[in-house]
Structure 1
Amino acid sequence: MLTRLFNPGWPGNLLALLAGTLTTLGLAPFDLWPLPLLSAALLYLGLRNLSRKQAAGRGWCYGFGLFASGVSWVYVSIHDFGAASPALAGLLTLGFVAGLALFFALLGWLWSGWLRRTNAPLADALAFAALWLALDALRGWILTGFPWLYAGYSQLDGPLAGLAPLGGVWLLSFTIVLSAALLSNLPALFKHKQQALLAVVLVGSLWLLGMTLGQHDWTQAKGQALSVTAVQGNIEQSMKWDPQKLERQLILYRDLTLESPRSDLVVWPETAIPVFQEQVTGYLAMLDDTSNQRDSALIAGIPVRRPNAAGENRYYNGLTVLGQGGDTYFKQRLVPFGEYVPLQDMLRGLIAFFDLPMSDFARGEPDQPPLQAKGYRIAPYICYEVVYPDFAAALAAQSDILLTVSNDAWFGRSIGPLQHLQMAQMRALEAGRWMIRATNNGITVLIDPYGRIQAQAPQFEQAVLRGEVTPMQGLTPFLQWRSWPLGLACLLILAWATFARRKKGQP
């Protein structure tokens, strides 16, 4: 009966769709960490006896289940804030989900056509995990990337968390998928004792390392703890870009800051000042003087307008430091359709969603240095940037403290902001550094070097979060090497699996 579910046909495709939703349940806010393991195992078994075309279809069904359950919150942005009708917003969301599912269709097609070897259970499982990881990386890169819903995030509070400083979320995902495939291959492994022994040693070592390194200190304190104030204005998205409400917003953030006890670092969210820097020079000068008088550094999100080499004005999503520090950082990883519009000559004006406020930002220059505040280096990530593991690691390696600012009001009361927070926690764990997360309407938190939340402001409320963070020094293995060792290993596994299959013929 169970075997029949994995054969060609709609029952197997329906099972694949349901299997995709299990990974979403393994991530925030559900955090049922064993489920991504079961999810990957069901897909692996479901692809075993299919042709290339059938495997592509089943992979697509899995991907559709994953993304329909995990990122359907984009509907909130399109409908609630993009002024699209429910039907149009639903259609655009459906297209987005269906497009993302093509990555798993590609996995099924490649797996069945070039890599699958049922007579070599250990090699087969390794190749499956390597291909999965390669396509995760591709999804995080193509068209600026959408690195969301990686299975490894389920292990933030799971037994594999200790692997994150070694190989990042990538190593966690690889271990989950490899373990799932090997568990699925247990009957075949029993017939190959040598392969079974190697599988036990390999997977056992990864799980043992994950559990034993969970509290290992990869980094050390660099100085005394710094007091932090993170201001959460809870400005409604409908008000944020209204010129008539600008003065009220500026006064709100000023007063919430000045009415709070003095802190070493004060952080305002992404675009907390929703007007170009040059238009509020007097306001910024006042904040700069006040911060200096309080021996404090204020880090605030603000758009910046500057001419490029051709003399054309370009707009940047920025973070600037006032008072005891300096520099302005320009966001490098922009959100498609939110901060820039692909094919904008065709799409702008089509519906209001493509003309959202501040949807024509330019990318900041690569290799920008960390911000300087209170004598320490702070790695800045504006909103979407914190979800890119290697990008975040490159900045973190140069820094003592991590900082991410966001405006998650775009996603309403959906699960999107909770997933976003989980990824920020993983970045802190990978880097072995404290992270400050300041958002407009939550979730504003302070995260320790183990990825644990140490202080949190309530969501959807105006709040001021106070606490302490400690500057850290030293590099975790992931900050030193990032994904290169695991990426190279996966490429070698895939090349070897392709060669072996061609040499021996399809089993």
Structure 2
Amino acid sequence: MPAPLPVERLPRWAAALASLIAGALVTLSLAPYNLWPAGILSCLLLCALLDGTSLRQALWRGWLYGLGFFGAGTSWVYVSIHVYGYAPVPLALLLTVLFCAGLALFQLIFAGCYVRWVRGLPAGVLMGFPALWVLSEWLRSWFLTGFPWLYLGYAHIDTPLAGWAPVTGVYGLSFACALSASGLYIAWRKRRASVWISAATALLVTWVGGALLKPVEWVAPANETPLQIAFYQPNIPQQLKWERSYLPHILGQYGEVMDPLYGKDIVIWPESAVPRYYQDMQAWFEPLARRAASGETTLISGVPWRGEQGGEYYNSVVALGSGAGVYHKQRLVPFGEYVPLEDWLRGLIAFFDLPMSGFSAGHSDQPPLRAGPWRVAPLICYEIAYPQQAAVAARNADLLLTVSNDSWFGDSIGPLQHLQMAQMRALENGRYVLRGTNNGVSAIINPQGHITAASEQFVETVLSGEAQVMLGRTPFTSFGVWPMVGGSALALLVMAAIWYSQPGERRRQRQAGTPG
């Protein structure tokens, strides 16, 4: 019999504290800390905390793990609620805690499903744990509009596991990270040669396979001169941006900076660069568009858009000058761009009445923007966090574009986590990602997920660099998230089928022993 684990001897308060700490470790694995082993350690501790527990204990520990996970990783929500939503400190703290506590229910569900149905299956710990983790991340990407943040796989842009990204996407990297943890855990927990061989084989396939895939070139540069790209990062204070009296100053900033940029292939302004509806500002945009066209420059700007039928308002991106097209954001941020339960919440506190929080969602079949002869797929702010949306957009695009206004999160870790997601989208899809922001980090990211040019945060600046049109598709671009999501679900079904095909007595013996 295996020796008792330290967590099995912990008093309740210590087990609760260990669950919180284990969840918080994931944040250390991600930007800006980038201590990638912390994510594996987090999952290993969770395996230990859920080993031998009752369902009730598992639900409690899973929720506490989620509270540490989201409490540490999304603490930046407090900034937008307190600083820009004008909520007093006690209320802002309460709303932040409620937000994290609600998200922690996803980890509660994971822990409950794992202990109730997965842990006792053949290879339930080794393979079931990572498969269920992927399904949990996927569930979080769409349930109640989704919150695809803090995926384990984002920590591995620069590790050997990155080789899997163009094949499996970030979910595959999350699977590999969780598999590394579960493999190490059962190797430590069990003292049998067969277990050691299984765990070592899984780890070797995962890490060596990633290293072998890493140099594979899924896409190739087009035979063209690199595009000359420029970003204007205006660093406009969030408190002033939507003030009507400040609009002339904003327009003056943008007008003055453009003179030396005509002649670039693409000039990018951030999300909601001009904080008025495009239809109201069309006369101001027109001379800029004419000058851009004469210099064979495409000007791409974020700007709110009023629908033709009235009553519909969009967070949009337009291409002007030598480009054309308009894109309306599909994935809206709750409370920032629309208010759930609007009739109840509007007017209660300033946070529920933020500027431009009444947007409509754009359709899913919008064509890419045109920038001269090139196709540019735009993703506005939060949308870059959705792997499937980016993969679908990349199928018919030469470049990926994301514009954002991360000013809402101040000097927190949120904007740097957001940048890391953009790096993963570039790596997954083999496309340059052009990222324009209000106050940083604006960046050019190459198809290997590496930043080739970047701005400083919280400064007004012009960032210039080069990007290349890439030909071909990665497997992930072609198939999206479904092979990993479907494969994870299938793996659990196969394990369950093997389990229930065994004689009842053998199942009871396995259930009584330590699961593997």
Question: SS where residue 396 of structure 2 aligns?
Answer: coil
**Cα distance in 1 for residues equivalent to 2:422 and 2:127:** 29
1:500 shift after superposition:
4.3
- 1:67 is matched with which residue? 70
- 1:23 deviates by 0.8
**Alpha-carbon displacement from aligned partner over 1:212-242 (angstroms, at most 9, x marks no partner):** 3223221111232110110000000011101
CA distance in 2, matches of 1:421, 1:6: 40
Q: Are positions 1:53 and 2:26 aligned together?
A: no
> Which position in structure 2 is the counterpart of 1:127?
128
Q: How do 1:259-408 and structure 2 match up within 5 A?
A: 259-260=260-261, 262-307=263-308, 311-408=309-406
Write the distance in 2 (CA, Å) between the matches of 1:6 and 1:62: 17
Contact 2:138 2:485 (C-alpha < 8 Å) held by counterparts: no
Whole-angstrom CA distance in 1 between matches of 2:112 and 2:371: 50
CA distance in 1: counterparts of 2:70 and 2:453, whole angstroms = 31
Aligned-residue offset at 1:142: 0.6
Aligned pairs for 1:154-303 within 5 A:
154-187=155-188, 190-191=191-192, 193=194, 196-222=196-222, 223-260=224-261, 262-303=263-304
**Once the 2 structures are TM-superposed, how far is the Cα of residue 475 of structure 1 from its aligned partner?**
0.5
Distance (Å, rounded) in 2 between the aligned partners of 1:61 and 1:215: 40
Residue 485 of structure 1, CA deviation? 1.4
The amino acid that maps onto 2:169 is: G
Letter in structure 1 aligned against 2:366 = Q
Q: Does structure 2 retain, via aligned residues, the 8 Å contact 1:387–1:420?
A: yes
Q: Does the aligned pair in 2 maintain the 1:303–1:317 contact within 8 Å?
A: yes
More displaced, 123-132 or 495-504? 495-504
Cα drift, residue 209 of structure 1 = 2.1
Superposed displacement of residue 200, structure 1: 2.9
Q: Matched residues in 1 for 2:189 and 2:49: separation?
A: 16
Q: Secondary structure at the match of 1:424?
A: helix
The aligned amino acid for 2:91 is L
Task: Look up the match of 1:145.
Answer: 146
The counterpart of 2:44, out of the listed 38, 41, 44, is: 41
Match of residue 104, structure 1, among 107, 121, 141: 107
State the SS of the aligned residue for 1:487. helix
C-alpha distance in 1, partners of 2:375/2:229?
Answer: 15
Partner in structure 1 of residue 477 of structure 2: 479
SS at match of 1:141: helix
How do 1:421-500 and structure 2 match up within 5 A?
A: 421-500=419-498
The answer (yes or no) to whether the contact 1:6–1:47 under 8 Å persists in 2 is no
Q: 2:120 aligns with which of 110, 117, 120?
A: 117
In 2, distance between residues paired with 1:329 and 1:197? Answer: 52
Indicate which of 30, 33, 37 corresponds to 1:27: 30
Distance 1:257 1:415 in 2: 31
Displacement of 1:370: 1.1
Distance in 1 of aligned mates of 2:282 and 2:213: 49
Distance 1:4 1:206 in 2: 28
Distance 1:204 1:49 in 2: 28
Instruction: Give per-residue Cα distances to partners, 1:423-471, cap 9 Å, x unaligned.
Output: 0010001111111100000001111111111111111000000011001
The structural deviation recorded for 1:185 is: 0.3
Q: Distance in 2 between matches of 1:29 and 1:284?
A: 37
Matches of 1:198 and 1:316, distance apart in 2: 52
Tell me, yes or no, if the aligned pair for 2:262 and 2:292 is still in contact at 8 Å.
no
TM-score (ref. length: structure 2) = 0.94
Which one of 91, 97, 100 corresponds to residue 88 of structure 1?
91
> Counterpart of 1:381 in 2: which secondary structure?
strand
Residue number in structure 2 paired with 1:18: 21
Q: Which amino acid counterpart does residue 320 of structure 2 have in structure 1? A: L
1:3 matched residue in structure 2: 5
Count of residues paired in the alignment: 501
Contact 1:224 1:471 survives alignment (8 Å) = no
Secondary structure in 2 matching 1:441: coil
Alignment-mate amino acid for residue 448 of structure 2: Y
Take 2:164 and 2:221, find their aligned partners in 1: how far apart are those partners? 21
Distance 1:300 1:312 in 2: 22
**Given the superposition, is the C-alpha separation of residues 81 and 2 from structure 1 closer, same or farther in structure 2, using an over 3 Å criterion?**
farther
Supply the distance in 2 between the matched residues of 1:86 and 1:158 (Cα, whole angstroms): 40
Instruction: Please report the RMSD computed on the Cα atoms of aligned residues, expressed in angstroms.
Output: 1.6
> Deviation string for 1:256-289 (max 9, x for gaps)?
1223463110000000011001111111111110
Q: Secondary structure at the match of 2:434?
A: strand
How far off is 1:123 after superposition? 4.0
Contact 2:336 2:357 in 1 (8 A): yes
User: What secondary structure does 1:461 align onto?
Assistant: coil
* Secondary structure of 2:435 counterpart: strand
One-letter identity of the residue aligned with 1:4: P
Per-residue deviation, residues 147-172 of structure 1 (Å, max 9, x unmatched)? 10011000012221111111111000
In 1: Cα distance, 2:381 partner to 2:114 partner: 35
Which whole-Å CA distance do the structure 2 matches of 1:18 and 1:333 have between them? 32
